[in-house]
Amino acid sequence: TLYQAHIYISDNDKDRALEAYTQLITENSQQPKAFYERGNIYSSMSEYENAINDYSRSIDLSPEYDEAYLKRGYTYFILEDYNHAINDFASAIEYNPNDIEAHFNRGLSYSKINEWDKAMQDLDSVISLDSKNNKAYFNRGLAHYHQGEYEKALDDMDTTIRLAHNIPEAYN
């Protein structure tokens, strides 16, 4: 049952949780949450292709499931499939426009493919939603740097240092 699966997850017994979600799916293959949760387990076990399959099935069953897009996007990002990651983060944003994680991760994905203007747009969105997000300032500073905008990069790194002293790269 769903309750048992949650207990196994809280006990960090991934194998039994996986069995429980698989049993739930076998009993009713129309449960997007069960596919989503099983995808999370697969992802935590580094079984990324299985995770993507389950997130995809969850999205097929519930096309507006923004969290499933977000998690599938994370998984594509881990696999360095940045274009698919960008598409999934965009879908998550479409269904939840104020999703800071989706904007942030789409910005990082754009950075990975050197799309600095698009990366900055997403990081600007993060900062407008959370003005104390030091990681957004740091990554926007990197984007400015890569575009040769050194003063803006320095400003963002100064803000990063002011907000969080635990990012040593900001001092370089």
Q: For residue 34, what pLDDT is reported?
A: 93
Taking only the tens place, the pLDDT of each residue in 135-161 is: 999 999 999 999 999 999 999 999 999
| Phi and psi torsions of 148, nearest 5° | 80, 15
CA-closest candidate to residue 39, choices 112, 111, 62, 90 = 62
DSSP 102-124: HHHHHHHHHHHTT-HHHHHHHHH
Burial class of residue 150, CB neighbours in 10 A (0-12, 13-18, 19+): exposed
- pLDDT for the residue numbered 13: 83
Q: What percent of the chain has pLDDT over 70?
A: 95
CA separation, residue 78 to residues 8, 133, 140, 143, 160 (Å): 25, 22, 21, 20, 25
* 46, amino acid identity: S
Q: How many CB atoms lie within 10 A of CB 29?
A: 11
What does DSSP assign to residue 19?
Answer: H
Given this model, what pLDDT does residue 42 score? 97
For the chain, which ranges sit under pLDDT 50?
none
Q: Tell me what pLDDT residue 97 has.
A: 97
- Encoding tokens for residue 124? 């600007």
pLDDT at 46: 97
